[in-house]
């Protein structure tokens, strides 16, 4: 696990974009990349920086495939707060990733069984695309990644899940009130995410400090789903000073971020 600490949210976005680029350079050879996409506020600066790399000719998403982390249950796919529409606005239109190459878990169906079956097929679609090269992640104030709320199995696959009251409160800003936030979602599982070749998690603000400390330095435990990143072979966590507030091993992270010279 690599921990990078930026002074400001802008530094975080730039460091995270470098980590995404490095991931594609490391894992993608003469084929279009496969990117895993988070929604929410955290990755917006990163998507802006990736757009600059596209303009500079360092990245090309024109033939890329994208897999969303999650989708609300019960919102029509055309709803402006559905994660499909959010990713079309914030990623496809910004990075030039074709809408037809964007995969999002099915969140709207008449029958529960249809959602559960589609969730099972989502992992198969990721595998059929060759797996995710770089997965972008945010983290909830309760330590969730995707919508894997505290208590979720560390080996879970894409599944239907209930959102906690805290998450619905946190996301009320997109809907007007917590009551309007859907109660359920379909999310990639923690086991699904662990299969991505590189994970790049972005977190800013004091509100994320407890979750970041638990994810990086706490015990590996379902009570902090993001702690599962401790098991990943190539996870990069990029945080600002405020989100780094509770980290105990700061000296080690700062020293490790320096280039190795002999």
Q: Please report where in the chains the tokens 């995410």 appear, as a residue.
A: 193
State the nearest-atom distance from the C-beta of 6 to ligand F6R, in Å.
16
- List the catalytic residue out of 90, 123, 142, 170: 142
User: Is 138 a binder of ligand F6R (CB under 6 A)?
Assistant: yes
Number of chain residues interacting with ligand F6R (CB under 6 A): 14
- List the catalytic residue out of 103, 123, 144, 171: 144
Calculate the dihedral angle through the C-alpha atoms of 19, 64, 140, 8, rounding to the nearest 10 degrees: 40
Where does this chain touch ligand F6R (CB under 6 A) — which range of 35-43, 59-67, 126-134, 230-238? 35-43
User: Is 70 a binder of ligand F6R (CB under 6 A)?
Assistant: yes
Tell me which residue has its CB nearest to ligand F6R.
138
Considering the complex, state which of residue 9 and residue 262 has its C-beta at the smaller distance from ligand F6R.
9
Q: Are 118 and 110 in contact (CB under 8 A)?
A: no
Scan residues 38-57 and list those touching ligand F6R (CB under 6 A).
Answer: 38-42
User: For ligand F6R, which residue of 3, 16, 17, 69 counts as binding (CB under 6 A)?
Assistant: 69
CA angle 189, 41, 221 (to 5 degrees): 35
State the nearest-atom distance from the C-beta of 155 to ligand F6R, in Å.
18
DSSP letters, 73-133, are SSS-TTSTTSHHHHHIIIIIHHHT--GGGEE------SSHHHHHHHHHHHHHHHHHTT--S
Pairing, β 65-68 against β 159-162: unpaired
The verdict on whether 29 is a catalytic residue reads: no
Which residues sit opposite 199 in a β-bridge? 135, 235
Instruction: Give the SS3 label for residue 230.
Output: helix
The verdict on whether 148 is a catalytic residue reads: no
The verdict on whether 142 is a catalytic residue reads: yes
DSSP 248: S
Q: Smallest Cα–Cα separation from 26: which of 52, 2, 42?
A: 2
The verdict on whether 121 is a catalytic residue reads: no
Considering the complex, state which of residue 6 and residue 140 has its C-beta at the smaller distance from ligand F6R.
140
Scan residues 150-179 and list those touching ligand F6R (CB under 6 A).
Answer: none
Q: Which residues are catalytic?
A: 70, 142, 144, 149
| Chain positions contacting ligand F6R, by CB under 6 A | 38-42, 69-70, 138-140, 144-147
């Amino acid at each position: 696990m690599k921990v990078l600490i930026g002074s400001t949210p802008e530094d975080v976005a730039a460091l995270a974009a470098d980590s995404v680029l490095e991931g594609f350079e490391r894992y993608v050879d003469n084929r279009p990349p496969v990117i895993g996409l988070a929604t929410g506020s955290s990755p917006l600066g990163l998507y802006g920086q990736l757009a600059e790399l596209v303009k500079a000719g360092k990245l090309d998403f024109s033939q890329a495939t994208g897999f969303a982390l999650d989708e609300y249950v019960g919102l029509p796919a055309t709803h402006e707060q559905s994660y499909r529409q959010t990713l079309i606005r914030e990623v496809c239109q910004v990075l030039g990733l074709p809408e037809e190459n964007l995969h999002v878990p099915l969140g709207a169906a008449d029958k529960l069984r249809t959602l559960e079956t589609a969730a099972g097929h989502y992992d198969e679609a990721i595998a059929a695309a060759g797996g995710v090269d770089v997965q972008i992640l945010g983290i909830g104030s309760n330590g969730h990644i995707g919508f894997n709320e505290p208590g979720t199995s560390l080996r879970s696959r894409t599944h239907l899940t209930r959102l906690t009251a805290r998450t619905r409160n946190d996301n009320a800003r997109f809907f007007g009130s917590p009551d309007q936030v859907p109660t359920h979602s379909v999310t990639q599982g923690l086991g699904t995410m662990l299969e991505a070749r590189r994970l790049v998690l972005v977190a800013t603000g004091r509100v994320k400090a407890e979750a970041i400390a638990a994810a990086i330095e706490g015990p590996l435990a379902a009570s902090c789903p993001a702690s599962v990143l401790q098991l990943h072979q190539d996870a990069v966590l990029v945080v600002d000073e405020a989100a780094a507030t509770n980290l105990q091993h700061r000296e080690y992270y700062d020293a490790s971020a320096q280039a190795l010279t002999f």
